[in-house]
Structure 1
């Protein structure tokens, strides 16, 4: 059989030579040189989490290959493996498989061969079965005359391949994804004239039927040898070739409810090295992320980088360099799976390393571990309702690209970093603050901090009765005068000593109320007015000490007397200064009269000692 194939290859050499020559031209700039590193800094410098296992950690393929197509069912990777012989690739029925050992080791074994030889088709896992669609029947060449529309279904339980209903059109160099384990979409291709191939074809395995979404792709955005993936109801296509020019643009297709409509929107272009365009790279989507692996730049260089796109934020997060074996023509070969410990692993069987290397037996694996368990959250644990701008902090979490915080009910704050500022609302209640790291693999374990939220005291209401201020709060009062704290005045009642503004704030268990209503006092004590001179005697009532204050330097001396109800003079002095203090602690509690007089002035007012 191989002899017949080689004879046919000789007859078809002219058709193939253009493709092979193009591969040589594209690889001539770097064949035999060291791996090209992606020197572009990650978009988020702390996000470089992926680690490639060293060469030979995982088993080599049984033979060298190129244009492989891969899929995973359960714990097994299946690879449809075209032949690579004598610097030439050709179609094959070969299928090999590997039972995944997430840490490496194990071996590849031969699987059940496909019904017919194929190369450069797509293989998709859907509803527990494999579907190999299209491909070339002999060699993958620019003429495209041997493209096929065949569909082969493989049941891993029975080990049997079955020929299914053919595609409406022949295709190579396309991509395929399975949505909801019920619909397979075939996009892109063929090798030639792919620019205007805008139709998308969909296959329903349950009914073995095909349909066509006409002119689905945006105008001029047909392509071949591109990266493709699917997450939930979103298909992503990136890079590839279009009219013999490589691309770096990206489109997202949102699948409609009945699967017969796809709405396409642009996404940010790939953050490639030096802005080069990229084709023949592998693609796989998992856990809300899309990975573009290796490929060939428009400069001719082959890449060792993996770029990571996040669906939820519509952004490219970073680039991971140092794939052990750089190369391309893996656009349908890259697959992924979540392994034990919620670690994502990207599997890349085979690669085309350029004309000097050709097809290979390489099997590269990239791992993305979950974020580690966070350290201790620090910050206030006893807070009050209504307290704002309280900051909490956790040490940087290894492998985390973002952070998820949760707060007690009634508390608010937003952050995707290792610190968060929290406002506790008036309805906030006690609970836990938690944080956990997140990356492409998912969420890690969480750290928790118990928060006690204490009630905010009700706003006090104050009233004035004569010279006594009264708060309706029985405890926790603190009186203020003209915005200054009155030291030691913490009782429910306070006797005013001067005119001005008074208010109260209640503090219970470290939590303070809002400011009470403000009462403005204008007639504290006893005022005597004569020729624009105001003499104020306060407080009244008093516990024994009274103050005499004159509004200005007095022009003439005043006589100051205190009498009892019977008119007996009990105390007498002259008012000669602007401020004087008189001690009446020896006076019994009761009602007295103050008399102030001079040659032209005489007034009497009541004084209460309590």
Structure 2
């Protein structure tokens, strides 16, 4: 690992999006001055961060989705005083944010998935004491959010992965009363219906979920019970609908990042108890 340039603002609970020009856009989060609406760009050719346009709203634990036209949609999160249903679009060519249609439900710790048809599916989350099972679709051509089928379980702090067949797999998360879930379900964009699939071997929140090059999904880490991080890892086989335990990570990790590399391996970095450690999951 080699140190690179510092961001202009310290932050956590932010988003990071790889743009078509190779720059990385980070947005929002929480820093030394509180909740942030700032955004900045990282240039890998220079290692420098440059401030770009501010979002219209401060946001923390929101989502960011990259469209084929290069625009970035941020949605929801928590602002300075409330949970947000607002959404806005970033145009890399101008560095300007434009407010777009509001979601039907305010939410944070939700998921956002880019579907094959170019729409964005958001699912679940939390809103001021309410655990959500609702889901909705953003149409970039109209800027409108449309309610779609509800998940079978309310959940937040879960994960979502778009499978090779276009369906979306959500896994784990927290239920009413902060009960951790081992249930998983599939969203079919052609019908708008959620269907339960195989159960995780371990209930978990604050984990990661990655689509592998072989079409399987690897879920790792998170927490099985409140306050206790785990290193367990399991694989989902879409053709069988079954989760299978695989080799555990070397460190217990929650709130970490997992990235699928070009060689198909998965890089796990950091986490609540894992410090500056990183490790590779090899296919």
Residue of structure 2 in register with 1:67 after alignment: 13
Contact 2:229 2:253 in 1 (8 A): yes
> Which residue of the other structure, out of 187, 203, 217, is the alignment partner of 1:253?
187
Residue of structure 2 in register with 1:295 after alignment: 222
Show the 5 A alignment for 1:209-248: 209-214=144-149, 216-218=150-152, 221-231=153-163, 232-243=165-176, 244-248=178-182
Q: Distance in 2 between matches of 1:344 and 1:192?
A: 38
- Whether 1:321 aligns to 2:254 is no
Count residues with an aligned counterpart. 275
Q: 1:184 to 1:308 in 2, by over 3 A?
A: same
Residue of structure 2 in register with 1:343 after alignment: 264
Q: Distance in 2 between matches of 1:60 and 1:67?
A: 20
Show the 5 A alignment for 1:143-222: 146-180=82-116, 182-195=118-131, 197-214=132-149, 216-218=150-152, 221-222=153-154
> Which residue of the other structure, out of 228, 236, 247, is the alignment partner of 1:309?
236
**Deviations for 1:192-231, whole angstroms, at most 9, x for unmatched residues?**
5444x332111011221111125x212xx01111111212
Q: 1:224 to 1:267 in 2, by over 3 A?
A: same
Deviation at 1:93, TM superposition (A): 2.1
Structure 1's unaligned 5+ residue stretches are: 1-55, 139-144, 369-438, 440-610
> Which residue of the other structure, out of 67, 73, 82, is the alignment partner of 2:29?
82
Show the 5 A alignment for 1:440-451: none
**Deviations for 1:316-339, whole angstroms, at most 9, x for unmatched residues?**
35244025x8332x5xxx464552
**Deviations for 1:124-161, whole angstroms, at most 9, x for unmatched residues?**
222232111011112xxxxxx60111112122333332
Deviation at 1:344, TM superposition (A): 4.3
Q: Distance in 2 between matches of 1:346 and 1:97?
A: 23
**Deviations for 1:341-395, whole angstroms, at most 9, x for unmatched residues?**
x4344475x7444xxx9xx8x5957464xxxxxxxxxxxxxxxxxxxxxxxxxxx
Q: 1:136 to 1:304 in 2, by over 3 A?
A: same
Greater relative CO, 1 or 2 (CA 8 Å, sep 6+): 1
Q: 1:99 to 1:313 in 2, by over 3 A?
A: farther
Contact 2:219 2:233 in 1 (8 A): yes
Residue of structure 1 in register with 2:49 after alignment: 109
Q: Distance in 2 between matches of 1:291 and 1:100?
A: 29
Task: Please identify which structure carries the higher helix content.
Answer: 1
Scaled by the length of structure 2, what TM-score is found?
0.80
Contact 1:202 1:212 in 2 (8 A): yes
Scaled by the length of structure 1, what TM-score is found?
0.40
Give the superposed CA RMSD.
3.3
Secondary structure class of the residue paired with 2:200: coil
Deviation at 1:306, TM superposition (A): 4.4
Which has the larger Rg?
1
Contact 1:280 1:296 in 2 (8 A): yes
Structure 2's unaligned 5+ residue stretches are: none
- Whether 1:91 aligns to 2:35 is yes
